[in-house]
Amino acid sequence: MTDRPSTAQRRRGARPPTASEQLEALLGYPWPFPGRPPKHDLSTWTVTDDWPNPVPVTEAEIEVFEQWFGDLFDELSSPGD
């Protein structure tokens, strides 16, 4: 057996490895993991709310939301037709 590429491979050219193939080569195991994802037992989860009250928001953050969602905010705050 030779290491020569097949005719189809020569026509296509060598393709670069996919992101998953690169991760597998780097990590040493396939990614994403084969099979179903593990089931999580939600009863073992802990939710911690350690945010200050009120949550601080900067003017820049408000401006971003107004820029992206201004039309939606206007529609939600206008009286119904």
Residue 17 in tokens: 């490895």
CA dihedral over 11, 14, 16, 22, signed as positive or negative = positive
pLDDT tens sequence for the chain (81 residues): 555 655 555 556 788 988 888 888 998 887 666 666 667 777 888 888 898 999 999 999 999 999 999 999 899 988 876
- Of 33, 13, 15, residue with least CA distance to 24: 33
Which amino acid, one-letter code, is at 44?
T
Main-chain dihedrals φ then ψ at residue 71, nearest 5 degrees: -60, -40
- Of 13, 12, 31, residue with least CA distance to 21: 31
**Cβ–Cβ under 8 Å, residues 70 and 64:** no
Q: What is the pTM (predicted TM-score) of this model?
A: 0.35
